[in-house]
Amino acid sequence: MIRRIREVAWTYVFKSARFSGHLFRFWIAFFYSKRLKNVCFIGITGSAGKTTVKDLSASILGATAECYSTPRSMNYPDGIAKILLSVKPRNKYCVLEVSGGNPGDLDRPLRLFTPTISVLTLVARDHFKAHKSLQAIAREKGKLISALPADGVAVLNIDDPLVRSIGEDCNRQVIWVGKSEGAILRLVSARSRWPKPLMLDVGYEGDIHEVRTSLYGKHLALSVISALGVGLAAGIPLTKAISAVAEVRPPEGRMEIVTNENGVTFLRDDWKAPHWSFPAPLEFMAEAEAQRKILVIGTLSDYSLSASKLYPKVARQALEVGDIVIFVGPHAPRAAKAKRDTGAENLHAFSEIRDAAIFLNSLLEPGDLVLLKGSNKADHLVRLMYHWQSPVSCWLSQCGIQDFCGDCPRLYKPMPSDAGTSAEAENTPELASIPLTGSNSERTVMVGLGNPGAEYENTPHNAGYRVLNRMAARANVSWVSYPEGLGCDVAIAGKTVSLFKPAAKMNNSGPPTLQFLIRNGAVINNCLVVHDEMDLTLGQARLKQGGGDAGHRGLKSIIAALGSHDFKRLRIGVRGANETKATSTSVLQPFAASDKQALETGIDRAIALLMDELKNSDIPVSNIAYSDQKTNNAEKSNLHKQ
């Protein structure tokens, strides 16, 4: 209770101090801005393309006079105040990127500066949850246009109906850009086919101008012509503006190309990933010329479908383009549902990014083009690229840092929680594909889940280990060490059965299980996972075909690694008779001495149930549970004789 009070008090103090700091900075910037009367401010907003327009515009304006622009993507209200304090009175231009992600976000910044030129790229579903409608998003972003003085100039996308409506009502000079008739800068054509960068043909005053860029993706043509519009609004000749954009590189994480010395090219579009933005990089990958196209997809945002429907849909779209498709993050198992619908062997899903990194490193080859599409705040997918170059140490899923990982001191700094696991993860055999089909369809593999280490031997979480240990002891066979864990073969009912105990911690059981299945050429239909089940009391055991993970993190990891729920499970009851509710720590607490007899009975019954399943594999396992009569019959099997 005292700890909770301290946490609440600290949170209150921290938020109060941060608000006071922001307010203080705002007023300092407010009074300082009075010294910037001669600076021409260019404000840029929109649901996409802001940062690229900002960088291109700064290059165009900077070619004629001193120009200051927003560093990176510091487009939030307090960021504008910070930027203004860095602007000098000698600067002729200042290019400011403004977000408008929440209602009222533009109000404070527009008290600090008055734009001479305003740009609105487009209105889409980005931040839809905050605004509730596209019209509300348009109203918020339209404030930047309304803030223009009478002699100000708006650069607007004529192809967006909501933007066009704002321009028609603004009563200011408008430089229309886009494909439609009436555009002052008209996009005639755009070409961007990897490895060639984006090239445009732009019509202006009856002439067609070729525009060369260092960007990638035809959808960025809007950003280019918007920046050229800023140049025209500032009185810069179009030919000079075209020359200024040629060498501008993509902003980090926005269709950014990174090619390393190993010949693998990463296309980073991992800053944010609203669902509506996904078709653009998908089109680029479809048209690209590459040895193999690999799509890595993280967390999507701003979608109208439920996640359970969206991710399989996106997976099917990605499979039409990519040679290999990998989903990463908490929604990855949902994407894996598309595997059952399509039978695709090139779709892979990983709940943990570390597992995805190991898998990706095992298959990359020179000439591969790898798209990273996700939300940096949620995924930090760029770690996949860094891990290919040099082993990454930080695999935190919720670090709270919004910046990219490149400058983070944690990236290569060993984390205490990684001790003893990173070496295991790196010493794994190369992976080939998800083992839905294999070369040895007769091989049955039983996977017992648990945590390696003597301190976990007598805990509920190690029930799977205990069952397999008992089976190996009765068959008088020894365990063989593999990079991914311990395995052995036993003969049961005339069949060879491979027993496997993953060497990873419970929550990372998936990748080593996948590796062992590949090693043995086993098919997923012949894989049976033995695990603890807190919903069953000690002494109970039940077989089940398929299903979700029910909160079991070991199962969750295996489902993600295999890309399928369709494998058999043997659930071992581990809840004490007097326990009414499972907790996250109870599965790691040693069994009480009073539970030993029930535990031993449950292990024996579980083995008997496995024996019966192997001999009668045509029985629908979804309804099989032990009973005293069934167990007595099964225990008369020949396991002791094997």
Query: Can you name the residues that pair with 209 across neighbouring β-strands?
Result: 202
Cα 99 from Cα 72, distance rounded (Å): 13
How far is residue 517 CA from its own chain's centroid? 26
Cα 633 from Cα 641, distance rounded (Å): 16
Could you tell me which residues come within 8 angstroms of residue 474 by beta carbon, excluding any fewer than 6 positions away? 607, 639, 640, 642
User: Tokens standing for 444?
Assistant: 């049955």
Q: How many CA atoms lie within 13 Å of 452's alpha carbon, on the beta-carbon side?
A: 16
Which of 293, 287, 286, 284 has the alpha carbon at shortest distance from 265? 293
Residue tagged active-site, from 131, 461, 531, 565 = 461
User: Tokens standing for 547?
Assistant: 């299903």
Cα 485 from Cα 519, distance rounded (Å): 12
Helix or strand run (H / E) with residue 537: strand 527-537
Cα 78 from Cα 21, distance rounded (Å): 10
**Are the CB atoms for 459 and 451 separated by under 8 Å?**
yes
Cα 200 from Cα 221, distance rounded (Å): 7
Q: How many CA atoms lie within 13 Å of 207's alpha carbon, on the beta-carbon side?
A: 6
Which conformational region is residue 640 in: left (phi greater than 0), alpha (psi within -120 to 50 degrees), or beta? Answer: alpha
Query: Can you name the residues that pair with 293 across neighbouring β-strands?
Result: 369
Cα 506 from Cα 224, distance rounded (Å): 50
Q: Is the dihedral of CA 419, 509, 323, 433 positive or negative?
A: positive
Q: Is the dihedral of CA 338, 343, 344, 348 positive or negative?
A: positive
User: Tokens standing for 568?
Assistant: 């058999």
Q: Is the peptide bond before 195 cis (omega within 30 degrees of 0)?
A: yes
Could you tell me which residues come within 8 angstroms of residue 499 by beta carbon, excluding any fewer than 6 positions away? 445, 446, 448, 468, 471, 472, 487, 488, 489, 490
User: Tokens standing for 440?
Assistant: 């040895």
Which of 153, 162, 96, 155 has the alpha carbon at shortest distance from 126? 162
Phi, psi for residue 131 in degrees, rounded to 5: -95, -20
Query: Can you name the residues that pair with 51 across neighbouring β-strands?
Result: none
Burial of 553 (0-12, 13-18, 19+ CB in 10 A): buried
Which of 435, 579, 561, 564 has the alpha carbon at shortest distance from 502? 561
Cα 458 from Cα 471, distance rounded (Å): 17
461 classed as catalytic: yes
List C-alpha distances in Å: 232 to 114, 154, 198, 593.
19, 11, 21, 83
Residue positions annotated with a catalytic role: 461
